[in-house]
């Protein structure tokens, strides 16, 4: 078989040579129309189809089609052959197991499977119709493999604006693409073009063993302070069959180092107005990067205040802490030190203790008028409220007391506040004393009382005045030892007295009150009621002695029961009937009457002890009259 093949190849070559010579002889009057695409584009690892279409002006006796490929060294290698009798893929080529040829009436189509980067070359189609003519065409196969998305990285250290030439700020890389990708840089989506002294790009192209390209690009850029907020990105552009596509990286922000040109100071706490005792925090910050050290001081003072990382804390401030505070930047690359500062006016508000005029206490005459003031020194407008016994009596710094009476006397408290700054409060007081002659309650009328002889009455006397009046009693018509003072009380401008008087006869009691400004009296007329009175009077006495009546009724019932017993004994003969028996019964009766009288007397004594204050009549069996003054 091998010998047969070896003999067939020379014969085939000879036949082709003869046919070509014949074709040359006939080509003067025979033509072939062959059509092939200039390029065919395909993704790597996919299949590529290269058509070869032909037609003859004369019908050929036979047609031979051969496919060739251009090697890297420049020579051509046949990869396929076909004629009227056979269709053959040449062996021992790089395409022997990856190509196939399909024929039809219009021509042939070469199909290449699993396209590789090495397949990017020219493919030739040679058509011979012997005497009908021959022609050759070619197609360039282009292979594409998109690269990976770009990866961007910014420099880890900051970039200073003080550099004299562009500095590297970022790098961008895209890997394994074919053909070679291109990288373009952007600042805020605006392309960056190479500019002398401002921007330039350094590109490194690497071809991997696979034949794919990796592209690295570095952006060298002269940054300014405005670049601190800019976003830099890179874009990769690459070819695909029939188009150009792009892939953009994420945007990155570059750390830009620039000097401090200004600082700002502000009050961080407390919010609103500052009062004495507050803790105040002042914050200062410069516009440089990295932040420069900050110091604080008072205006027109070189003494540095203790602060930390741009924060000044003033604890329990007082009005002495009011003033202008300065903060300075100490950056080495800062502009003129004297210009890089800011100031803040701090005002610490205060409220001094209240000042009351008149101070402490004031004595005024009854009927006089008085003007009292209460205020406090403050950095803000104040408001004053007056109170007496916890009740608001006035508003305003001035309080007017007109036509003073004893009711006017007492302590007046004032509270001073700052409406615009709650929490600031101070207070004071003034004690008002009203001087005047004694003023006795119910002194304008004479008090008339009635009480039975032996009864007790309570007489009360209440007086106001300053200086505090003295009270004396004068009683006429009763024995001096028959009355006594049982209650006595004194306050600043008030005194009261209660006496208990035993009625023996009609009497007149006078309460005398005196001080440095005068005297005032109050008269009580007591009328005694004897035991022997008119039936009306006795009825009144009986009506008021219900307990005695009950005792009498009980005694009568006891006598009736005792009489029934004696009568029963008499009927039975157990008791002799005679005068002496009657006398005993009469004596027993007399004893019962004596018991009644003794109980009444005892009740009378108890009624005296149960008398109430101010002449109130306590026991129901006594006729007592009292007065509440």
Phi, psi of 588 (to 5 degrees): -65, -40
**CA diameter of the chain:** 209
> Could you tell me whether strands 76-82 and 199-207 are parallel, antiparallel, or unpaired per DSSP bridges?
unpaired
Q: At what angle do helices 546-572 and 535-543 cross, to 10 degrees?
A: 90
Q: Residue ranges of the chain with pLDDT lower than 70?
A: 1-30, 331-339, 478-481, 532-551, 553-554, 565-629
99, burial (CB in 10 Å: exposed 0-12, middle 13-18, buried 19+): buried
State the DSSP H helix or E strand holding residue 543, giving kind and residue range, or none if neither.
helix 535-543
Which tens digit of pLDDT belongs to each residue from 351-375?
999 999 999 899 999 999 999 999 9
pLDDT digits (tens, 9 = 90+) for 74-95: 889 999 999 878 889 999 999 9
Tokens 């089609």 -> residue: 65
449 φ/ψ sector (left φ>0, alpha ψ -120 to 50, else beta): beta
How much is the mean pLDDT over the chain?
A: 82
Per-residue model confidence as pLDDT tens digits over 14-47: 554 544 554 444 444 458 899 999 999 999 999 9
Classify 148 as helix, strand or coil. coil
N- to C-terminal Cα distance for the chain?
A: 161
Q: Which tokens go with 536? A: 């009306």
Distance CA(18)–CA(231), nearest Å, equals 73
Round to whole Å and give the CA distance between 215 and 206: 6
Q: pTM surpassing 0.85?
A: no
Contact 376, 405 (CB under 8 A): no
Rg (CA), the chain: 67
Neighbouring C-beta atoms of residue 270, cutoff 10 Å: 12
Helix axes 546-572, 579-609, angle to 10 degrees: 160
What CA–CA distance (Å, rounded) separates 484 from 501? 7
DSSP state of 490: E
pLDDT of residue 207: 94
Q: What DSSP character marks residue 62?
A: -
Alpha carbon distance 191, 7 (integer Å) = 68
Q: Tokens 């396929």, residue? A: 80
Cα distances (Å, whole numbers) of residue 577 to 558, 564, 580, 591: 21, 15, 8, 21
pLDDT, position 586: 34
How many H-runs (helices) and E-runs (strands) does the chain carry?
Answer: 4, 46
User: Across the strands, what pairs with 507?
Assistant: 526
| Dist. CA 444–CA 350, nearest whole Å | 56
pLDDT at 571 (0 to 100): 62
Decide if 624 contacts 451 (C-beta within 8 A): yes
Q: What is the pLDDT of residue 601?
A: 31
Sign (positive or negative) of CA dihedral 568, 573, 576, 578: positive
């Amino acid at each position: 078989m091998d010998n047969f093949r070896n003999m067939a190849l020379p014969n085939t070559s000879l036949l082709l040579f003869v046919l070509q010579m014949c074709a040359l002889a006939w080509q003067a009057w025979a033509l072939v129309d062959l059509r092939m695409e200039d390029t065919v584009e395909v993704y790597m690892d996919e299949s590529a189809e290269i058509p070869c279409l032909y037609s003859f002006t004369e019908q050929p006796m036979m047609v031979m089609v051969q496919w060739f490929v251009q090697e890297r060294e420049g020579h051509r290698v046949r990869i396929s052959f076909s004629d009227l009798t056979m269709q053959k893929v040449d062996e021992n080529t790089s395409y022997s197991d990856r190509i196939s040829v399909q024929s039809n009436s219009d021509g042939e189509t070469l199909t290449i499977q699993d396209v590789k980067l090495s397949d990017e070359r020219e493919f030739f189609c040679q058509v011979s119709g012997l005497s009908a003519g021959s022609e050759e065409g070619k197609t360039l196969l282009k292979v594409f493999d998109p690269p990976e998305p770009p990866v961007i990285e910014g420099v880890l250290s900051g970039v200073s604006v003080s550099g004299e030439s562009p500095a590297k700020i970022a790098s961008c890389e895209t890997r394994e693409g074919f053909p070679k990708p291109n990288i373009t840089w952007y600042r805020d989506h605006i392309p960056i073009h190479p500019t002398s002294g401002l921007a330039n790009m350094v590109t490194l192209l690497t071809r991997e063993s696979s034949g794919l390209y990796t592209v690295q690009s570095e952006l060298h850029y002269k940054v300014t302070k405005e670049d601190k907020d800019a976003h830099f990105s890179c874009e990769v552009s690459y070819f695909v069959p029939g188009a150009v596509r792009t892939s953009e990286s994420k945007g990155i922000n570059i750390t830009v180092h620039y000097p401090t040109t200004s600082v700002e100071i502000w009050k961080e706490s407390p919010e609103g107005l500052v009062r004495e005792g507050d803790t105040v925090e002042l914050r200062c910050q410069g516009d440089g990067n990295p932040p420069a050290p900050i110091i604080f001081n008072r205006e027109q003072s070189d003494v540095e205040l203790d602060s930390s990382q741009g924060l000044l804390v003033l604890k329990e401030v007082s009005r002495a802490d009011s003033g202008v505070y300065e903060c300075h930047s100490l950056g080495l690359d800062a502009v003129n030190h004297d210009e890089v500062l800011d100031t803040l006016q701090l005002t610490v508000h205060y409220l001094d203790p209240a000042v009351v005029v008149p101070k402490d206490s004031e004595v005024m005459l009854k009927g006089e008028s008085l003007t009292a003031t209460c205020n406090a020194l403050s950095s803000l407008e104040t408001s004053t409220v007056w109170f007496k016994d916890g009740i608001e009596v006035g508003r305003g710094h001035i309080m007017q007391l007109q036509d003073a009476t004893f009711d006017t006397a007492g302590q007046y408290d004032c509270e001073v506040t700052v409406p615009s700054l709650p929490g600031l409060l101070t207070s004071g007081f003034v004690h008002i004393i009203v001087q005047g002659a004694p003023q006795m309650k119910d002194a304008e009328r004479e008090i008339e009382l009635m009480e039975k002889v032996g009864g007790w009455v309570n007489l009360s006397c209440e007086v106001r005045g300053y200086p505090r009046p003295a009270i004396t009693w004068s009683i006429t018509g009763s024995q001096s030892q028959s009355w006594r003072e049982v209650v006595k009380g004194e306050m600043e401008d008030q005194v009261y007295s209660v006496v208990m008087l035993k009625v023996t006869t009609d009497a007149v009691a006078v309460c005398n009150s005196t001080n440095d400004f005068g005297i005032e009296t109050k008269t009580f007329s007591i009328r005694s009621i004897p035991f022997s009175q008119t039936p009306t009077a006795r009825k009144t006495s009986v009506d008021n002695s219900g307990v005695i009546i009950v005792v009498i009724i009980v005694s009568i019932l006891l006598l009736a029961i005792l009489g029934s017993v004696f009568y029963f004994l008499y009927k039975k003969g157990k008791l002799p009937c005679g005068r002496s028996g009657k006398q005993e019964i009469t004596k027993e009766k007399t004893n019962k009457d004596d018991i009644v009288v003794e109980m009444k007397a005892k009740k009378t004594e108890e009624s005296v002890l149960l008398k109430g204050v101010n002449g109130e009549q306590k026991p129901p069996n006594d006729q007592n009259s009292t007065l509440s003054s």
